[in-house]
A and B are shown apart, each in its own frame.
Chain A
């Protein structure tokens, strides 16, 4: 009797797994969307930042860093564009570990930091000067905290998806973004303008590219087993 029961159970499980394999032909998460983000037109010139008012930061940069609102590369590419799945996603919505944001040389590193809504965010001051971290949130709640040198990191999180501009009022040139998303399927373009969103199951997706100065562009992409392509072109204006 007992043996029979186990045999039946084993059979059911085996059949179940077999069915599951057949239901989803290519293995989940093998697809990806890659592409390049470029611009047409004339983008604004990025200006060198004068940090002479903060010598401890100025001396960390052999050549002055520039503003990063529209970071471009050879071949009209755009850097720091957040490309993410805005619809059709069943990706991770909770994160196991936090993300780190640094203030170093009176600059935000990275310039744009992506994170999930609810994901732990740690903000470090690596400088020998005080900063105030002032995320200008509109959907979430704005706050503004001082962080003198040697302070412990500020532990925080954002509850709702939003692109949040971050500034330091003491060093007005400091400027960055938190890209708070509800998907972990995201990629930020490098200097060459390319992105690569990995780990996608085959299916239809809406992909959105966000550039801090030029807003968002979206397109629908169908992903099969391999890499699908999506390129974005923003219209650049000089001001």
Chain B
């Protein structure tokens, strides 16, 4: 071993020691400082109920400390030590505002909504799927998450959206969905072709003022709140609270909503699907008769 090599090895070794020391001291300071997780009475009593499983906040607290605290933080406000490196930011549970809900905009999600979010994770974000935890553990975490905001003690979750059976996938349905996409001005953010390049796209911020992008349909990337047509239906009907995406529940009739779902699928050109196949065949024959989507087309904006 040359002197130089020794020096490098020594330096690396001390660095490793230092790092280890730092970790230990952090852990210790955590033990000594007042532990925000060693909770309020509400921590002990909060429960969740998911399909026959009762989750307990007391158990969830320990799981949270092990698996969630790094991003969501010891105070549940989304300011864990990893948060500064993460975009979009981890959820701030103290606000009790959640994107993926089956309930109306402005209301609390159901236990099942939170459970599904933990189970599914959020693609294209740092939130992984927590399937490795068993259902009881995930239910416990749901119960614990609900201790971060007093709203859970005062309010009931909203009523879950009633989604009627899907209508047939037809070219008429897709064409009508396309009209709605124009009329409801989805394209203002998502872009005429769903490329997330509409005129307002670059100006969007979430409710905390962080820049946020609209969903880009063309890449074939999965939806944050679930993959199926029913999920897609629910996403635009309930909106994604805390983001620019509004709720359309008051302005779209159930059958029309299915038409919009069918059209949105045709924008996912990188994701083979039934709607896309049907649409491509139609477009090959009638494409030139279609009015382009956007500001100069007939519809909402003149």
Contacts and interface: CB of A to CB of B under 8 A. Distances in A.
A136 B243 CA distance: 10
A54 B241 contact: no
Interface of A: 53-56, 128-130, 132-134, 136, 138, 141-149, 151, 154, 169-172
B244 A134 contact: yes
A144 B239 contact: yes
A145 to B, nearest CB: 5
A171 B250 contact: no
A128 B298 CA distance: 12
Interface in B226-242: 239, 241-242
B247 interface: yes
B74 interface: no
B188 A130 contact: yes
Contacts of B189: 169-170
Instruction: Determine the interface band of chain B, counting residues with CB < 8 A from chain A.
Output: 20 to 34
Given A55-B295, A170-B200, A129 B241 contact: no
B146 to A, nearest CB: 15
B300 A148 contact: yes
B301 A169 contact: no
12 contacts: A53-B295, A56-B301, A134-B207, A138-B95, A141-B97, A142-B241, A144-B105, A144-B239, A145-B247, A146-B246, A148-B300, A169-B244
A143 B203 contact: no
Interface of B is mostly: loop
B301 A54 contact: yes
A123 B200 CA distance: 22
Contact of B184 (A143, A146, A169): A146
Contacts of A55: 295, 301-302
A169 B247 CA distance: 12
Interface string B162-205: 00000000000000000000011100110000000001100110
Given A56-B302, A146-B248, A130 B184 contact: yes
A146 B207 contact: no
Interface centre among B105, B246, B247 (most CB of A within 10 A): B246
Contacts of A142: 97, 106, 207, 241-242
B246 A169 contact: yes
B285 interface: no
B301 A128 contact: yes
B245 interface: yes
Given A56-B302, A142-B207, A169 B200 contact: yes
B300 A128 contact: yes
B110 interface: no
B268 interface: no
A7 B251 CA distance: 66
Contacts of B246: 132-134, 144-146, 169
Nearest to A152: B250
Given A53-B199, A128-B301, A129-B300, A147 B251 contact: yes
B241 A143 contact: yes
